[in-house]
Amino acid sequence: MADSGGPLAGIVVVDLSRALAGPHAAMLLGDLGARVIKVEQTGTGDDTRWWGPPFAGTGQEQVSTYFLSCNRNKESIELDLKSADGREQLTRLVRACDVLVENFRAGVLDRLGFGVERLHQLNARLVICSITGFGHDGPEGGRAGYDQIAQGEAGLMSMTGPDPEHPTKVGVPIGDLLAGIHGAYGTLSALYERERTGRGRVVRTSLLSSLVSTHAFQGTRWTVAGQIPRAAGNHHPSIAPYGAFSCADGTLQVAVASQSQWERFAALLGLDPADARFADNAERVAHRDELIAEIEAVLRSAGRDTWLAEISGIGVPCGAIRTLDQVYDWEQTRSQGLVLSVEHPQWGPIELPGPPVRFDPRPGDAAEDRSEHLPPPALGEHSSAIRAWLDELDADQE
């Protein structure tokens, strides 16, 4: 396969993962220019190919939009890892690659004959990215992990929703996505370390660790202050006014994060910034319900667009709450490369959410981003080409 460009050009990743966390990690590496070879079970492939509706295509060629979201910039080879041929081809891939991504339950790779020791016997430079639900060890290390289960177990749902009686999951599988991000950055660190040591290592993360690591100030609210965070709807637990407010024709969000911003915001709305109930942030948090009521009484006098213009004009952060169609139509979204158009061999041009990282070119150099993005592959689309590539590598070593 031709070099696609990007910082990871020349790196080969074998993606043994399914569902979302592992595929997301591998996709991020592919976005950076790595060649990603997705190993899929013969005949069925990644389970997410069938997680729908909605689907793209029809009949035998249909595939879920879920699968399309996390498998761009990959090639697909079908292998039955329980067969002699499947194990032989995986052995060849391990010898040829730089990174292996897997999210099997603990012990599965060992039973297939590809435990960590065996993998590093085959390739001492191999970086192994292993993603699990609750960690590979500890009292619940073998437990299966699914995103919504992990969101509940990791405390995220207890802090999300309109109130403490209605714990709510995040609208995307955030545990899977964060685990994929953490797996990718751990992998990059291990690749950098390999330049010094000449040896790969195992990088481990989990849905649990990824979610707990994002507790941020809510975590220290408990560990340091001894307060248990509870769901508080669309308002910040430690800053006020900071949240979603009703106006004449909808909802807008305002983030007043400093005293000077409060003074400007209060003046715009005709509120007294020195009112004892609202004089500083601690008082505003203590009297949040009264503050919200007074703000919304003013905001309901005009429409959202009017207030967005006026609040922005005084230097206070504010924004609309967009639906996803509005986000993808937004010129700012498209200007940041967050929508990719790729040519799918079956359906023609399709648009996908784009990579979140961009690279400026160095003076005199071409762009550092990946030059061409690939559509998510059909099941086994590259099986013959990958086997031929492995044959060439074997021939070169003879």
Residue-wise pLDDT tens digits, 104-163: 988 899 999 999 999 999 999 999 999 999 999 999 988 888 999 999 999 999 999 999
Tokens for 237, please give them.
Answer: 């637990």
Q: What is the pLDDT of residue 126?
A: 98
Predicted pLDDT at 61 = 76
In the prediction, which pLDDT does 1 show? 56
Start-to-end CA span in the chain (Å): 22
Contact (CB, 8 A) for 181 and 24: yes
Q: What pLDDT, on the 0 to 100 scale, is given for residue 146?
A: 93
The structure tokens listed for 235 are 């308002």
Please give the single-letter amino acid code of residue 336.
Q
SS3 of residue 240 by DSSP: coil
Q: Determine contact, residues 207/147, Cβ cutoff 8 Å.
A: yes
Amino acid at 40: E
Candidate list 31, 46, 147, 176, residue with the active-site label: 176
Tens of pLDDT along 341-388?
999 888 889 999 999 998 888 776 655 777 789 999 999 999 999 999
- Choose among 34, 39, 46, 45: nearest CA to 16: 39
Residue 324 to residue 171: CA distance in whole angstroms: 12
Q: What is the CA radius of gyration of the chain?
A: 25
**Which value, to the nearest 10 degrees, does the dihedral of the CA atoms of residues 50, 171, 155, 242 take?**
170
Q: Is the dihedral of CA 30, 36, 40, 43 positive or negative?
A: positive
CATH code: domain 242-322 is 3.30.1540.10
Tell me what pLDDT residue 367 has.
55
pLDDT of residue 43: 92
Pairing of strands 127-132, 99-102: parallel
Give the C-alpha separation, 353 to 334, whole Å: 10
Dist CA 297 CA 289 (whole Å): 12
Q: What are phi and psi of 339, to 5 degrees?
A: -130, 120
Low-confidence ranges of the chain (pLDDT < 70): 1-3, 364-367, 398
176 is catalytic: yes
User: Exposed, middle or buried: residue 89 (CB in 10 Å: 0-12, 13-18, 19+)?
Assistant: buried
- What ranges do the domains of the chain cover? 12-214+331-397, 242-322
Q: What is the fold, at CATH topology level, of the domain defined by 12-214+331-397? A: Rossmann fold (3.40.50)
- Which of 137, 213, 160, 219 lies closest to 182, judged by CA? 213
Tokens of 4: 């696609």
Residue 172: exposure state from Cβ atoms within 10 A (0-12, 13-18, ≥19): exposed
